[in-house]
Structure 1
Amino acid sequence: MHTLLATVPKEDKLIVLGDCNAHVGTDHAAWQGVLGPHGFGGCNDNGLLFLRTSADHLHLLTNVFFLIPTREKATWMHTRSRRWQLLQYILVQRPDRQDMLVSKVIRDADV
């Protein structure tokens, strides 16, 4: 992902959608400009790498910038804990945040 983000000219619009298998947590104060105030859960190693890469390239995760119900944000439920997780993310350049009105999931869209 680092290579992709490094090769796109800053004046181009870039929207990255993907299953990153990352938990980014809720520490939006530590990740200002990358992580919004509406995240949930803890942070794992993939999440930390994802946040660092996003910060290095001045991108933000739109999924956690909007106040929406968990059922419209979470994409996967852990079978044992029955807790919903956010694993798929939408990444945009910071100046393009103004173009994003909302980010929601459509669960079971591939079924």
Structure 2
Amino acid sequence: MGDFNAKVGEQRMDDVVGPHGLGQKNERGERLVEWAQRNEVIIGNTWFELPPRRKWTWKSPGDGSRNQIDFILISKRFRNALLISKTLPSADCYSDHVVLMGKLE
């Protein structure tokens, strides 16, 4: 676990990043994608078509902007086991991050 503040964006990239991300990719996002490619993992929560309120994982102080900077990484070998990944923005966890949930088969 770590806080890289990576944004992988909305554009599909090979079989690592799906077409349903949020926002624009930044430099840290590029490094995360490169790491995922080398280690044969996918960024799981970019593969599910959901409304934006179920994608963003971080809210700036004062509620000025919201970004998707927390991810579920799973081995390509087990990608079919990830049935859904979404955030639970109504969960009160006393943080500027929201709960990210993944359901595995």
User: Is this a same-fold pair by TM over 0.5?
Assistant: yes
1:56-110 deviation line (CA, Å, top 9, x unaligned): 1111001110011111110123458833210100000012110011001123542
The residue number in structure 2 matching 1:25 is 9
Normalised by the length of structure 2, the TM-score is 0.77
Listed as ranges, the gaps of 5+ residues in structure 1 are 1-16
What amino acid is aligned across from residue 64 of structure 1 in structure 2? T
Change (3 A) 1:90 1:109: farther
Quick one: distance in 2 between partners of 1:18 and 1:32?
24
Aligned with residue 65 of structure 2, among 73, 76, 83: 83
Q: Which has the higher contact order (CA 8 A, sep 6+)?
A: 1
TM-score, structure 1 length as denominator? 0.73
Counterparts in 2 of 1:93 and 1:38: CA distance versus 1, 3 Å: same
2:21–2:55: 8 Å Cα contact kept in structure 1?
A: no
The structure whose Rg is larger is: 1
C-alpha RMSD of matched pairs (Å): 2.0
Corresponding residue for 1:63? 45
Moved over 6 A (4+): none
Higher relative strand content? 2
Structure 1 residues 58 and 19, CA gap change in structure 2 (3 angstroms): same
The count of aligned residue pairs is 93
Contact 1:18 1:90 in 2 (8 A): no
| Counterpart residue type for residue 37 of structure 2 | A
